[in-house]
Structure 1
Amino acid sequence: MTGTPTDARPGVPEPLEDEASYGTRVEEAFIEERGTPFFLLPKDWQLIQDWREGGVPADTVIRAVRGAFEKRRARGDVSKISSLSYCANAVEVLWEMERRGLVGAHGARPAPESVPFDGTQRLRSLAAALDEAASASPAGADASAAAEAIRSAREAVEALDPASGLEALEEALAKTEKTLVKKLEKALGDVERESLDRAVEEEAGDVSTLTKETQRRIHAAIRRRAVRRAFGLTPLTLLGE
């Protein structure tokens, strides 16, 4: 998910990575280490923005995030981390060490043993959850359109190859959910859509200090979750509890 780190000369700044790519890579690394579905908070996106603008390479952030989680696992701590800020000190320390040449700036993480991934059971659970949700819609929604959208998503999930690998499946599920959420939002009545807009704005809070891209990502994540809740849908991901 994170790509292959590139070599860098100590003291030579790297070109600023595209904001969307930088944010996505850090977000995916955090979710991967956390092991369960999660969307970053506004303060987390502000942290990512500060790291990027401060010149901290995404690879450094990712290594620090992984290192922080590995230390927790070594201590036997299995509690869930609710914010990327948990890794902030680890990022600061690693970046300072790398800049001073005290650690390798691009040390590769040892690859885990290759174990074939089989998502059969989880995909079946997701399809069953969609099938159950197809029979219920919130008040004011176009029940027929909503049911058709959910059935279409269920068919897309059932058509996935469970042996195609975690990354490929997660990407396909994310696309399916994005399409489903758009259709379901259209199925909402005018009053419900206005209520949804207000709820998203309230939950996001003041994000005016963040970049437009970061604001968009925050609002999109909150909106997806709000629509899923309205229709009683589970997130389409294999990274379930």
Structure 2
Amino acid sequence: MSASTGADAPGATEHAYFQAVEQIFIGLRGAPLLLSPADYRVAVRWHQAGIPLDLIREVLEQVFTDRRNRGVKDPVSSLRYLQRAVERAWEEARELSAGARRSAAAELEVPPRLEALASRLEAVAGEAAQDLAPEAASRLVLTATRIRALEGSAETVERQLGRLDQELVEIVEASLAGAVADDVEARLTQSLARLAARVPAEELERARLRLRRQLIRDRFQLPVLSLFSPEAEA
């Protein structure tokens, strides 16, 4: 299922923001998950409100920590569970800072974010060299060079990053072989089996590609190529 279809089709920045929120959520949850169109609408609401990703990350980390401390076993499966906590924290932040954080979030400093993404991608290429074909590792480094060369408005750069992000996963996916490929397929089978009980068969098949890409991204710690991603804020 794609959260970016139909009436909810996003602009480039909204889609990138959603991807970044999704990565934060999945990273804290610790297991692959398909977020729903309803979750996408929550993320769009946060984006339109100007809620910074660092605040979302802080709130989600606190919620997950509190649940662990209370011994709660059921996993959080939707952003809607977290919506009230995030929006309450944002309202408090706005009251304390008279909207300063929102203004800061709206003014993206593009060059340092591109440098952060490129540096992270170069690090990934080095760390994953033993699991990737030499050509794939070289193409990751080349992608980092292309990221540094991007120019234009934040919206223009975001669209270009979106295309590079698609290529990034395809580069790694095409190089999978041996034990690494087997591991990804095994995890994919497990994830689909967990979804099978609550997702229609036709929807499950559409989910396969997205889950596979998600698992590849997690396996190699690939950054989301977006000005809004956590890696861009490093």
Instruction: Decide which of 60, 64, 81 is 1:86's aligned counterpart.
Output: 81
Q: 2:124 is matched with which residue: 133, 136, 157?
A: 133
Pair 1:237–1:201, CA change in 2 (3 A): farther
Partner in structure 2 of residue 180 of structure 1: 168
Match of 2:188 among 200, 203, 207: 200
Does the CA-based 8 Å contact 2:21-2:43 persist in structure 1? no
Which residue identity lines up with residue 200 of structure 1 in the other structure?
L
Partner of residue 10, structure 1: none
Q: Partner of 2:139 in structure 1?
A: 149
| Structure 1 residue 43 displacement after superposition | 6.5
User: CA–CA distance in 2 between the matches of 1:132 and 1:87?
Assistant: 32
The answer on 1:233 being equivalent to 2:222 is yes
Gaps of 5+ in 1: 1-17, 52-60, 90-111
Task: Give the residue type in structure 2 aligned to 1:149.
Answer: R
- Quote how far apart the aligned CAs of 1:153 are: 1.3
Query: Partners in 2 of 1:175 and 1:64 — Cα distance?
Result: 21
The residue aligned with 2:72 is none
Q: Which has the higher contact order (CA 8 A, sep 6+)?
A: 2
Q: What amino acid is the match of 2:81? A: Y
Aligned-residue CA RMSD (Å): 4.5
CA distance in 1, matches of 2:42, 2:120: 36
SS at match of 2:59: coil
Q: How does 1:1-241 map to 2 (within 5 A)?
A: 20-22=5-7, 24-25=9-10, 32=17, 36-38=21-23, 44-45=35-36, 48=37, 62=41, 66=45, 79-80=59-60, 83-86=78-81, 117-137=108-128, 139-142=130-133, 144-161=134-151, 163-165=152-154, 167-204=155-192, 205-207=194-196, 209-210=199-200, 212=202, 215-216=205-206, 218-241=207-230
Cα distance in 1 for residues equivalent to 2:203 and 2:139: 28
Q: Deviations over 1:177-219 (max 9, x none)?
A: 2112111122121432232122123224224734746753x43
> What is the Cα deviation at residue 139 of structure 1?
4.6
Unpaired segments ≥5 residues, structure 2: 27-31, 64-75, 85-101
Q: Distance in 2 between matches of 1:200 and 1:33?
A: 22
Instruction: Check whether the contact 1:42–1:207 (CA below 8 A) recurs between aligned residues.
Output: no
So what's the TM-score if we normalise by structure 2? 0.56
Query: How far off its partner does 1:145 sit?
Result: 1.6
Deviations 1:127-179 (A, max 9, x none): 1112222223265532x122122022112211211x412x4333322221211
| Cα distance in 2 between the residues matched to 1:121 and 1:157 | 11
Residues 202 and 174 from structure 1, CA distance in 2 versus in 1: closer, same or farther, beyond 3 angstroms? farther
CA distance in 1, matches of 2:4, 2:20: 24
Contact residue 196 and residue 226 of structure 1 kept, 8 A: yes
Higher-Rg member (1/2)? 1
**TM-score of the aligned structures, taking structure 1 as reference length:** 0.55
Identity %: 19
- What SS class does the counterpart of residue 238 from structure 1 fall into? coil
Q: State the distance in 1 between where 2:41 and 2:82 align.
A: 10
Greater share of residues in helix: 2
